Chain A
Amino acid sequence: MGITAVPMLLSLYLSFTNYDALSDFSAVEWIGLDNYREMFTADASFWHAVRVTVTFALIAVPLKLAAALGVALLLNRAFRGVGLFRGLFYLPSLLGGSVALAIVWVNMFNRDGAFNSLLGLFGIEGAPWVNDPRFALETLMALAIWQFGAPMVIFLAGLKQIPVELYEAASVDGAGPWRQFRAVTLPMLSPVIFFNLVLETINGFQGFTSAFVLSNGTGGPVDSTLMYTLNLYIKGFTELRMGYASALAWVFLVAIALITVVLFSTGRFWVHYADGEDR
């Protein structure tokens, strides 16, 4: 506990200083809110990183959850080999966060990478996706979506909990598959969807490894992959402005807490709990 709590307070203190990691602790100067003022008013890279991160999360998280739910629905039947399918779909979630896979991914979307070769088969001229500021972030989104296996297995567990009688009753009432999905599956699954949404949103905001690998730690091309955590790393460990980076970290923490609170408050309107206690 101490290893978490003490650094937290230290971090808060540092965020009001100009600490630079090189000089002695005694040389640290209290500079009040200067770090925060700079961040919000003078530092363009801060707002840029916020925009990149929010764009990433807004697009990658819903698509990842949609893919996870779609495949989970397809797998939610007993047939031979279902376990194998489930395992293989899950595999990217296990490997995908690694540096190794980020390297492979970046090369796949290079000018002469596998993706362009594939496009070439259809006579389409590809772009150097990872070197183009218009597409670089999208390739990282694709990598995140590719790892849909983890939320998928959670969806599968949720789908198993829905009583079969509900579907039977719906089909007696003449509801087709789409209607059943809308009226039974979605509401019954909403707590699980909510759980996955919160988890994946928080994860999405913290993307670091793939952006680091794609840009070799710079956030390029033209800052297009400057995720918030990467910006924090650059400020703290490349420019050694640890006081400023601490301020970045605190803003990040508050932002994530706020987003979680917002998600929970909207959850009241669409998350349906089977025990009737719609909190």
Chain B
Amino acid sequence: MGRRFWRLVILVLILAVVLYPLLWMLGTSFKSREEIATNIGLWPDVFTPGNFRDGWQNFDVSFGRFFANSAMVALLTVVGNAVSCLLAAYAFARLRFRMRKVWFAIMIGTLLLPGHVLIIPQYVLFKQLGWVGGDWPYLPLLVPQFLATEAFFVFLMVQFMRGIPYELDEAAKIDGASPYTVFAHVIVPLSRPALVTTAIFSFIWTWNDFFRQLVFLSDLQDYTVPVALTLFIDSTSESAVGPMFAMSLLSLVPVFLFFVAFQRLLVEGINTSGIKG
């Protein structure tokens, strides 16, 4: 009894420290300018939703536009990763082609490659192609996602497909199915769990991503939410704190909803898939 009690006390204390910044953000978003300066408590005495209105219209372009841009980038990334990584994984897991093992090793090698190393040559390349600051500035962000460059997801799907019994492929082939039919009617339906994991993490990572979006987006109207949020830092007047917090809070809502909806999968799925042996 005593031991269990103390364990719980310690856990609750740690949890309080961990959750404090999040609760503080929530509270501050609803505080008026005066209250932010005077009330050091977690909760506002008077709930002021005005920060959300002010933040939304704080720049020449409304946050509605930034959210729409972010959503578009994230959703297209999900589609791109799902389709391209599925195809690449199918090739690695089921098809026989020359140097398959070598290509696979190279693919795994890119897992260790920091994104920061690739960014300059990619920038140069996309600039030469006229994509940077072009008619549709999202090409540099999205095209790589349609070419199965996220080795992590390819790897995840290859591992998953290896668990699908070969007999199913064989049975389909005996019935006269081509590799394409096997892919569409056997592999894809059975890979649903890996596909869902890929989709969720693609979305969250892209939504939170900052570095690539910072580098490739230069016009205010094309900004995504994270890039737009950094504009608040430039204008660090006291009055901007409330709106800044309100918009920061809003920007986390989609990720938080994903967390609530897929908590088990997020906590247990992907993180442990690499080491379950």
Residues of the B chain whose Cβ atoms lie less than 8 Å from the Cβ of A206: 114-116
Residues of the B chain whose Cβ atoms lie less than 8 Å from the Cβ of A120: 40
Selected interface stretch from A35-43, A57-65, A103-111, A166-174:
A103-111
* A117–B40 CB distance below 8 A: yes
Query: Chain A, 184-217, contact with B by CB distance < 8 Å: what is the 0/1 string?
Result: 0000000110010000001001101100110011
Residues of the A chain whose Cβ atoms lie less than 8 Å from the Cβ of B116: 206, 208, 229, 232-233, 249, 252
B179 in the interface (beta carbon within 8 A): no
User: B13 CB to closest chain A CB, in angstroms?
Assistant: 11
* B256–A154 CB distance below 8 A: no
Partner of B112, one of A7, A103, A117, A260: A260
* B121–A7 CB distance below 8 A: yes
How distant is the Cα of A94 from the Cα of B274 in the complex, in angstroms?
Answer: 18
A10 in the interface (beta carbon within 8 A): yes
User: A247 CB to closest chain B CB, in angstroms?
Assistant: 10
How distant is the Cα of A8 from the Cα of B22 in the complex, in angstroms?
Answer: 39
Given A6-B125, A232-B116, answer yes or no on A108-B21 (Cβ-Cβ < 8 Å).
yes
A97 in the interface (beta carbon within 8 A): yes
How distant is the Cα of A12 from the Cα of B80 in the complex, in angstroms?
Answer: 28
Count of residues in A whose CB is under 8 Å from the partner chain:
77
Query: Chain A, 96-120, contact with B by CB distance < 8 Å: what is the 0/1 string?
Result: 0111110111011000101001001
Which of B14, B215, B233 lies at the interface centre, i.e. has the most chain A CB atoms within 10 A of its CB? B233
Number of A-B pairs whose CB atoms are under 8 Å? 208
* A242–B147 CB distance below 8 A: no
Residues of the B chain whose Cβ atoms lie less than 8 Å from the Cβ of A219: none
Residues of the B chain whose Cβ atoms lie less than 8 Å from the Cβ of A257: 112
* B40–A114 CB distance below 8 A: yes
* B107–A1 CB distance below 8 A: yes
How distant is the Cα of A37 from the Cα of B119 in the complex, in angstroms?
Answer: 22
Which residues of chain B in 231-270 are interfacial with respect to chain A, using CB atoms and an 8 Å cutoff? 232-234, 241, 244-245, 247-249, 251-252, 255-256, 258-259, 263-264, 266-268
B174 in the interface (beta carbon within 8 A): no
Partner of A99, one of B8, B149, B210, B256: B210
Residues of the B chain whose Cβ atoms lie less than 8 Å from the Cβ of A19: 124
A49 in the interface (beta carbon within 8 A): no
A3 in the interface (beta carbon within 8 A): yes
Which residues of chain B in 209-239 are interfacial with respect to chain A, using CB atoms and an 8 Å cutoff? 210-211, 214-215, 225-227, 229-230, 232-234
Given A4-B149, A209-B211, answer yes or no on A157-B271 (Cβ-Cβ < 8 Å).
yes
Which of B113, B230, B247, B258 lies at the interface centre, i.e. has the most chain A CB atoms within 10 A of its CB? B230
A16 in the interface (beta carbon within 8 A): no
How distant is the Cα of A146 from the Cα of B26 in the complex, in angstroms?
Answer: 18
Which residues of chain B in 78-119 are interfacial with respect to chain A, using CB atoms and an 8 Å cutoff? 103, 106-107, 110, 112-119
How distant is the Cα of A237 from the Cα of B113 in the complex, in angstroms?
Answer: 20
* B204–A11 CB distance below 8 A: no
How distant is the Cα of A192 from the Cα of B276 in the complex, in angstroms?
Answer: 10
* A256–B252 CB distance below 8 A: no
* B15–A88 CB distance below 8 A: yes
Given A74-B7, A97-B208, A153-B267, answer yes or no on A3-B124 (Cβ-Cβ < 8 Å).
no
* A192–B4 CB distance below 8 A: no
How distant is the Cα of A83 from the Cα of B120 in the complex, in angstroms?
Answer: 43
Which residues of chain A in 1-28 are interfacial with respect to chain B, using CB atoms and an 8 Å cutoff? 1-8, 10-11, 14, 19, 21, 25
> Which residue of chain B is the closest to A15 with respect to CB atoms?
B120
Partner of B275, one of A87, A158, A202: A158
* B120–A4 CB distance below 8 A: no
> Which residue of chain A is the closest to B107 with respect to CB atoms?
A1
* A95–B147 CB distance below 8 A: no
How distant is the Cα of A206 from the Cα of B209 in the complex, in angstroms?
Answer: 13
A250 in the interface (beta carbon within 8 A): yes
Given contacts A104-B25, A157-B268, 17 further A-B contacts (CB under 8 A): A4-B113, A8-B121, A10-B121, A90-B266, A98-B226, A103-B233, A104-B21, A104-B245, A154-B271, A157-B272, A157-B275, A202-B114, A209-B211, A212-B214, A242-B120, A249-B117, A253-B113
Q: Residues on A close to B: CB < 8 A?
A: 1-8, 10-11, 14, 19, 21, 25, 71, 74-75, 77, 79, 83, 85-92, 94-95, 97-101, 103-105, 107-108, 112, 114, 117, 120, 146, 150, 153-154, 157-158, 191-192, 195, 202, 205-206, 208-209, 212-213, 216-217, 229, 232-233, 236-237, 242, 245-246, 249-250, 252-253, 256-257, 260
* 28 residue pairs bridging A and B, Cβ less than 8 Å apart: A3-B144, A3-B149, A6-B121, A7-B118, A7-B125, A8-B117, A10-B121, A10-B124, A79-B8, A91-B259, A97-B208, A99-B226, A100-B248, A103-B229, A108-B24, A114-B24, A146-B18, A154-B272, A202-B114, A206-B116, A209-B211, A216-B230, A242-B120, A242-B124, A246-B120, A253-B113, A253-B117, A260-B112
